[in-house]
A and B are shown apart, each in its own frame.
Chain A
Amino acid sequence: MKLFSLLFTKLGVVFTLCVLWQSLAWVIASSDFPSLLTVLKSLHFHLTEGEMVSNLFITLKRALLSFIIAMVLGGLIGILMGMNSLANKLTDSLLIIMLNIPALVTILLCYIWIGLVETAAITAVVINKVPTVVVMIREGSRAVDQNLLAVAKIYKLSPSKTFFRVFLPQLYPFIIASARSGLSLIWKIVLVVELLGRSDGVGFALNTLFQFFDIAGILAYTIAFVIIILIIELLFFKPFDKIVARGKRFD
């Protein structure tokens, strides 16, 4: 019952926003502000006759690939920096530099140095994302409870058992937080990367639509991709939340 009413509220909000959009579009009546219906028509057109499906898939593939690489790499570096004070001292200033290099600069340099290829695109996205993952995982591994690690040492747990059953579960909340913020950041950067140097994907399509001032088309692509991200969120992150909540007090 509670779940049902929550769902009802959420749908109500979405519906109100749609109505608001549609009526605003009627009032303004400008070609720069297409109505919801126009956008949906455009969405239908791009889905059935355009290359939207393949573009969405290509972008999604790039986003997920760079997401996985960035999470693994950032996680490993973050744990190392959190556990080892020497490694932290050596790389701390580098981390701050990396955090503050504009995404655009990394993308441009990757295209120049590696060439206008897929590797360059993925590398650029990964370089943009890794520092933020590192920052969060580092904080997590600094906060790890030494008392529990002492238990692992006393009872002579193997290194892999200590890592996966004692150490890593304490990092789950930090990993989830950086994954959540990570996916949204990554797909935005992927679009810029595509816009600047790829001839397919959502970013490339948006650029083309922009040349024709096809605002309905731009909004249609946005809606399509947001829906995909929402589905990923539901399918992949919700189960993770359950793992993180394991053993927490059930009130």
Chain B
Amino acid sequence: MIELNVAIKDKYYENSETAVLSQLDFKVNSGEFLAIIGPSGCGKTTLLNMISGLESCVGQHISYSSNSSGNRFKKNDLASDCSKSEYLENEQANRIGYIFQQPRLMPWLTVRENIELVLDPTQFNKIEGLLAEVGLAQKGDYFPSQLSGGMQRRVSIARAFAINPQLLLLDEPFNSLDAPTAGRLRKLLLDLCREKKTTVVFVTHDLQEAIYLADRIIFLSDSPCTIIHESIINFPKPRTESGIAELEFQAKLTRQFPLLLAGKID
């Protein structure tokens, strides 16, 4: 299990004058499911890419602390001006799973080979079980192009969980799916997260989805984005997607801050 600390001052793209992210401080507790909601184009994907190490985070502070070894405050500074070797060492230490907006499977590899790709040969024996868990037990020898969009997402979920991630990042993963398929995949995701006790950062622009999934929601403003609101969702899981408590929570929030989803607090 892993705890994530993010402290970003200002993040600029190369050759750009305006900041994408400004003051952004938050912490994700170990085993917590954090949802991040923000208007489109506000820099949510950039934030995830920085956490994952895809985007440079020189001069920023993003760190993991793991409490698995009993050493609670063993801090791994990911990027605060740290040297390259230190950064790489860090990457070895932390297993991050990332489920992208698109499934991003290798089209020339079968479903099984796509999962084998991210594993050591010693771990190949767990692939069958994993495929069964995401409901693709018979589909191991299919190519991604032979599967529906929903099934491809399942493969990408299986791939992310194959490495037993300590931290799982999701970037609007159920965006282009029809409602029933998306609903089933959300439930699958929750089950897997509970089973593996994964720390999750889930980016979305769908409030209902966030209320269904998350323990806590952070709301971001328009670009350059900062945190404008934070709400804790403390009613028990499993929840129902349009249950009364959930809908009431959503209604209360939208009554209180009508422009919250557009990134404005007033």
- Closest B residue, CB atoms, query A169: B108
Contact A246 B104 (CB under 8 A): no
Within 8 A of A (CB), among B135-167: 143-146, 159, 163
What distance in Å separates the Cβ of A148 from its nearest Cβ neighbour in chain B? 6
- Closest B residue, CB atoms, query A166: B106
Within 8 A of B (CB), among A28-72: none
Contact B106 A154 (CB under 8 A): no
A154 to B117, CA, bound (A): 12
Contact B117 A157 (CB under 8 A): yes
What distance in Å separates the Cβ of B120 from its nearest Cβ neighbour in chain A? 10
A119 to B107, CA, bound (A): 42
A250 to B102, CA, bound (A): 22
Given A154-B54, A154-B96, are A247 and B117 also a contact pair (CB < 8 Å)?
Answer: no
- Closest A residue, CB atoms, query B96: A154
Interface size on A, residues (CB 8 A): 18
Contact A161 B117 (CB under 8 A): yes
A247 to B104, CA, bound (A): 14
The 8 Å CB contact of B117, one of A155, A249, A250, is: A155
Within 8 A of A (CB), among B100-134: 100, 102, 104, 106-110, 117-118
Contact B54 A247 (CB under 8 A): no
The 8 Å CB contact of A249, one of B102, B110, B145, B159, is: B145
Which of A153, A157, A247 has the most chain B CB atoms inside 10 A of its CB? A247
Within 8 A of B (CB), among A209-251: 246-250
Given A247-B109, A249-B145, are A155 and B104 also a contact pair (CB < 8 Å)?
Answer: no
Contact A247 B98 (CB under 8 A): no
Contact B102 A147 (CB under 8 A): yes
Contact A247 B107 (CB under 8 A): yes
A151 is an interface residue with CB less than 8 A from chain B: yes
Given A147-B100, A150-B54, are A155 and B163 also a contact pair (CB < 8 Å)?
Answer: yes
Interface size on B, residues (CB 8 A): 24
Task: Name the A residues within 8 Å of B159 (CB-CB).
Answer: 155
B92 is an interface residue with CB less than 8 A from chain A: yes
What 1/0 flags go to A109-151 for Cβ under 8 Å of B?
0000000000000000000000000000000000000011011
B221 is an interface residue with CB less than 8 A from chain A: no
- Closest B residue, CB atoms, query A250: B146
A154 to B146, CA, bound (A): 25
A161 to B91, CA, bound (A): 17
Within 8 A of A (CB), among B48-67: 52-54
Task: Name the A residues within 8 Å of B102 (CB-CB).
Answer: 147
A89 is an interface residue with CB less than 8 A from chain B: no
A-B contact count (CB 8 A): 51
A153 to B104, CA, bound (A): 13
Contact A154 B52 (CB under 8 A): yes
What distance in Å separates the Cβ of B254 from its nearest Cβ neighbour in chain A? 34
Contact A246 B143 (CB under 8 A): yes
What 1/0 flags go to B74-110 for Cβ under 8 Å of A?
0000000000000000011000111010101011111
A165 is an interface residue with CB less than 8 A from chain B: yes
What distance in Å separates the Cβ of B39 from its nearest Cβ neighbour in chain A? 23
A169 to B53, CA, bound (A): 25
A156 is an interface residue with CB less than 8 A from chain B: yes
- Closest A residue, CB atoms, query B116: A165
A165 to B117, CA, bound (A): 8
A169 to B98, CA, bound (A): 22
What distance in Å separates the Cβ of B219 from its nearest Cβ neighbour in chain A? 26
Task: Name the B residues within 8 Å of A249 (CB-CB).
Answer: 145-146
Given A150-B54, A247-B145, are A169 and B106 also a contact pair (CB < 8 Å)?
Answer: yes
Contact A156 B91 (CB under 8 A): yes
- Closest A residue, CB atoms, query B169: A154
Task: Name the B residues within 8 Å of A147 (CB-CB).
Answer: 100, 102, 104
- Closest B residue, CB atoms, query A170: B108
Contact B96 A247 (CB under 8 A): no
Task: Name the B residues within 8 Å of A247 (CB-CB).
Answer: 106-110, 143-145
Task: Name the A residues within 8 Å of B97 (CB-CB).
Answer: 154
What distance in Å separates the Cβ of A109 from its nearest Cβ neighbour in chain B? 42
Given A246-B143, A247-B144, A249-B145, are A155 and B106 also a contact pair (CB < 8 Å)?
Answer: no
Task: Name the B residues within 8 Å of A166 (CB-CB).
Answer: 106, 117
16 examples of A-B residue contacts, CB within 8 angstroms: A147-B104, A148-B106, A150-B100, A151-B98, A151-B106, A153-B54, A154-B97, A155-B163, A156-B92, A165-B117, A246-B108, A247-B107, A247-B108, A247-B109, A248-B145, A250-B145
A residues neighboring B (CB under 8 Å): 147-148, 150-151, 153-157, 161, 165-166, 169, 246-250
B residues neighboring A (CB under 8 Å): 52-54, 91-92, 96-98, 100, 102, 104, 106-110, 117-118, 143-146, 159, 163
Q: Which 4 A-B pairs have the closest CB atoms?
A: A155-B118, A247-B143, A247-B108, A247-B107
